[in-house]
Structures are given as C-alpha cells and as structure tokens.
Amino acid sequence: MKYIRMAGILLILTLLCAPAVLSQSCDWTGSWSTSYGQMELQQSGITVTGTYTWDQGRIQGSVFGNRLVGTWSESPSYSPTADAGDFEFTLSDDCNSFSGRWRYGSSGEWRTDWPGTREAPACESTVAPKCPIGTLGAPMLRNPQIPSGSLCRGACGSDCPGSCTPRPDMTICIPDSTGKCYFNCTYTGVTECGSHLACREHDDCYDQCATEEGETDILGPCHGRCDDNCTRDYGYLSCGRWALGYGPYDRMLTFSNPPTLTGPFPGPCSTGQIQGDVIPSSEEESAV
C-alpha cells in the first residue's frame, strides 16, 4: 500500500510539472507588417509557412499555443548560420500583433527585434450588399412608395398613427462573403406600431384597390368593401378601435426611413451588434 501511495504522489507531481498547452483559436494566416518587411503567412493545421521581403526571406514553423516556433532563411544561400536560423513569435491576446525573437543558426544569441502587426484585409473589391427591409431584424419602410401613398402598412390606424412609439436609430451589420469585411445599414426615423391580422388584411385590401382598380378615394366602392369585410369578420367595435390605432394587437411592427449603407470596413461584425446574413447585390426582393 505504501508503494501505491508513493506512485500516486509521483503521478500528481508529474502532472503538475508538465508544461501547460495553451489554447489558441487565432490563425496566423494573413499579412503582417514587421520590422523585417511585409510578411505573408499561411497556416494549415499547426504548420505555418510564409515569406517576408527582407532578403527574400522564408518562414517555416509550427504552432504551440500562442507561439509560432520554427526557422527563418534568406538569400543568397538560405542556409545557416549566415542566412538561416531559429525564430519564435508570440501572439498577443487579440491576435493582431506578435513579439518576435530570432537568432543565427540554432545556438546563436537571441535578438528580440522582430515584432509584427496584422494588416487589415483589403475591402475595396468587396461587392456591396443590399440593406434588408422587413427581414433579418430590419424595419419595414415607413413610406413604401406604393400607388395608394399610404404609410406604415400593416399598422393599426391611418398611416403611422399617434399610437406608434418612436424608437432609437438602429444599425445592422452585414458581413461580406469572405467574413473579413462588413457593411453597416443604418435606419433612422424608427417607429414601432401595434398591428393585428385584421389591420394587415384591411391595408392589403386598400392597397389592392389602388393598385388593381386605380381607386385612391377611401370613400370609393372598392374601399367600402374592405371596410365591410372587417366589420363582418371582426365586428364594428373592434374595427372602429383599430381604425383609430388602438388594440388589441397580435404583434408590433417597426418602420423607418430608407436605410443608409456605409462601408466596407475591415474585420468581422462586432460582438453584440445586430447582424444580418450576407445578401448578394443582385437580390432585389426585400432589399433597398
């Protein structure tokens, strides 16, 4: 039993003294501005290869936690000790810079003058998306520019009634197809209005009168049939309340002015920011 206890103690000491393997979710792939020129790195698994501009340099190494360890080599011979040696880069917590040291060969004195900073990806060639309207959490248009000229379609009440509540401007982040750049769609004049199926059906009916029959007078026969449908299905009292913008509601609808698209900006969408899906610029439906 004494030997078993001693073996257990030795096992615990071994585990405690073992080197910790640091987790690192960042990738070394990308362009870096370093003290020895522009560096291009490509990571595959734990292996990293690359080049840098100083003397047509080359890099080859392996990832260990937040460290990249390997060898550098330069023209003309690409051989130690004059033109090759060891290096070690240590990545920062935000993965956007590293501190670096290097030496000639594998036994020379370490030098600590090889820092690097990640360069933002170029976004100039990114295709601009369409800002979502009524999808992906975006508001609908306050003025949809329809033949009837009506506003806030689907809201209970005439146009955008006084029962609607103003809301702060909102921004939706739209990542590009590469995930390395993004655009912002900003919505101003945001207002939230109560809605009910009866109000949405009534607005659809009114809009059809204007679109299909060319009738824009709400006292016309087509509009009158829309009013009759509401009272028949929901009763005079309920339809009267909805016409004034009052409830009951079954949902809230948000409206805004046409959105403004800005960008592209380097990097991903910020954490916590409202994010939409990538929308191809050729897509016209539900987009502006």
CA 167 centroid distance within chain: 23
**What DSSP string describes 50-78?**
EEETGGGEEEEEEEETTEEEEEEE-TTT-
- Tell me the residue type at 127: V
**Are 127 and 154 in contact, with CB atoms under 8 Å apart?**
no
Residue spans per domain, the chain: 24-118, 140-266
pLDDT at position 30 is 85
| Cα–Cα distances in angstroms (integers) from residue 62 to residues 101, 188, 195, in the given order | 15, 49, 59
CA 278 centroid distance within chain: 9
Fold classified for 24-118: Lipocalin (2.40.128)
CA-angle at 268, arms to 265 and 271, nearest 5°:
120
Provide block-wise average pLDDT over 10 residues at a time, the chain (288 residues). Answer: 41 40 65 93 92 95 95 94 94 91 93 91 75 91 92 93 94 83 92 96 94 91 95 94 94 96 82 53 35
pLDDT at position 137 is 86
